[in-house]
Amino acid sequence: MRKILTTYLAQASRGDGVVAPHIRALYETLTSRELTPALLNALAADYGAPDAPLAGLDAAALAERGYRLAVPRITVAAR
């Protein structure tokens, strides 16, 4: 999400103000909808795909597309 926002702002602030169409579409999606885990999952899963849907997908819909649910294991070093 941060990359989309910073890229949009960087491109929009250039002299010509031209923003790449895929960045503009992602920016408009992020700023015009409620950000839910399903929407963020769908955007991340399909980022860069030429026909990426910008509608949110729930875990079941992602599983149907072949994606697996991963639970990160985070280890913090003791000090």
Q: What is the pLDDT of residue 56?
A: 59
Q: Is residue 14 part of a domain?
A: yes
* pLDDT for res 57: 67
Question: What's at 66, amino acid-wise?
Answer: G
What domain count does the chain have? Answer: 1
What whole-number distance in Å separates Cα of residue 68 and Cα of residue 59? 9
Range of the domain at 48: 2-64
Q: Is the pTM of this model over 0.75?
A: no
Q: How confident is the model at residue 50 (pLDDT cuts 50, 70, 90)?
A: low
Tell me whether residue 74 is in a domain.
no
**Mean pLDDT computed over every residue of the chain:** 77
Biggest CA–CA distance in the chain, Å, is 50
